[in-house]
Every structure is written in structure tokens, then in C-alpha cells.
Structure 1
Amino acid sequence: MTAGDVHRRILELYPAVLATGRMDEALALIHPDVIDHRGGADGDHHGIRAWREKWERMVSGETGFHDVSVTVEQNVSNGDLSANVYLSRGTHTTSGRRYEVRGMDMIRVWDDRIVEHWAIRDAVAMRHQLRLDQLDS
């Protein structure tokens, strides 16, 4: 598979992971030694266990989301790299509030699995739409 094929497949599986909590098929596309460059206070996360924990948090109770969809607006792939500009939509499980934000992510693929991942999303817009910024006041 090309990097673009792997990227497209992981995005196709992502909503089902969040909806069902079943992630084995999607995790098969993640290399055991993956580095997830998350940035911010969390910094980089290493290994497939960290990736699984990230998805488990997104499925769980107060921090969970449902009705998630990701629409790729632009993809650029070259060799082992694939980058997307995407529109993400979903519903915050606890509050029932919806969000719609743009993001960008890039992956590096080796042996048909993701070995590196970078992502940025408009977190300010997402917090505002979910009214999480009002909780900080």
C-alpha cells in the first residue's frame, strides 16, 4: 500500500473506532514503535499502547465523542509521507454539543503501517463550539 492508501484507510476506520470502541483493524495499520507527535504539554507519545489509550479516551465518558466524521478536503502524498487537510465533525457525548473544525495531519509509513504522525486542529474553535471555554471563566 502507498502512504496515501494507509492514510485513507485509517481515516475510513476512525469513525467506527469511536462509535464502537473496536479498534483492532485500525491498530493493525499502526506500527508498534509509532511516534505520535502531539505537541503541547503532552509532547510526543511512543508506541502502539499510547495510540490505543488516545482512542480509548476519545470513546470514554466525559471526554468522548460520537457521530464523528472526517472529510478529507486535500491530500498530498509523496513516497512514505501523506498529508491531509480535513474537516472533522462530531458530538461531545456528555454535553450533546456539536463541533465542526478543520485540521491537518501527516503520517510517515513504513512496511504498510504508520510509524510517525503529526496533527494540528483548530482547538480554540472546537473549545468555543463545545462551550468548554466558558467553563474556564
Structure 2
Amino acid sequence: MTELDNFGRLVVKRARDPVFDEIEKILDGTSPPMYRQAVEFFLSTDVSEKDKLKEMALMAIDMSLFYLLHAFEHYSDGDEGCFEIISLRQGGNDIPVRELSDGLAGELVDETGWIDRFSAVRPSKYSE
């Protein structure tokens, strides 16, 4: 597995999937007490509405990650005050993650992308 794939696995396993798991807990009524108001609302929601809400949540997560990766790729080297945020160690050198891909955001959602390869949660309709 390449360093870029290791980065993608980290994005999916430590950012995408856990967020969706927490949202499912809220919708199912099994989340921590701090989400009590949301849980009370969603417990009164019928199953078909919960499924729609889960899909919307998954789409929002995927779109957020897509645009974050897009920003890493396109807004660096002083653009909009940004800088190289993430570098990966490759061959003893630190290489900006955006230089390891010809389309960093696409790595997340293409047909052989990080979501399909590393996620325990199905892709959202946004990424299909």
C-alpha cells in the first residue's frame, strides 16, 4: 500500500466512519446523554425518515471530506493564506500530499477510491 493510500485509509477509518457511527447512534437512540434532545426528536421519527436522514448525513460527511481534500490540493503555496498542511514521508523525503495524486479529492470517491476500499460504511449517493 502506498503512503497516499495509508493517508486515505486514515481519512476514512478515523474521520468518515466514526462520524457516521455517531450519527447512527443518535438516530437509533443509543448515543451519549449529551445528544439527548436530538435523540428524543429522532426516536419519534419513522423508519423511512431515519433512512433518509442517514443518507443525508453520509452525503454531508462525504462532501465535507471531498472539499477538504480539494482545498489541500488547490489552496497551498500562499493561496488564500494557506500552506502545505500535510506531507507524507516517501523515500526518506517529506512530500506534500497533494503532489502524490493528480486529483486528491477524487481519491476519496472514484470507483476504486478510498471509501470503496477502506470504509466499513457503504458509499453515499454523492460518491457513486
Specify which structure has the bigger relative contact order, considering alpha-carbon pairs within 8 angstroms and separated by 6 or more residues: 2
Q: Same fold (TM over 0.5)?
A: no
Q: TM-score, normalised by structure 1?
A: 0.24
Tell me the TM-score normalized by structure 2: 0.26
Instruction: Determine which structure has more spread, i.e. the larger CA radius of gyration.
Output: 2
Structure with the higher helix share, 1 or 2: 2
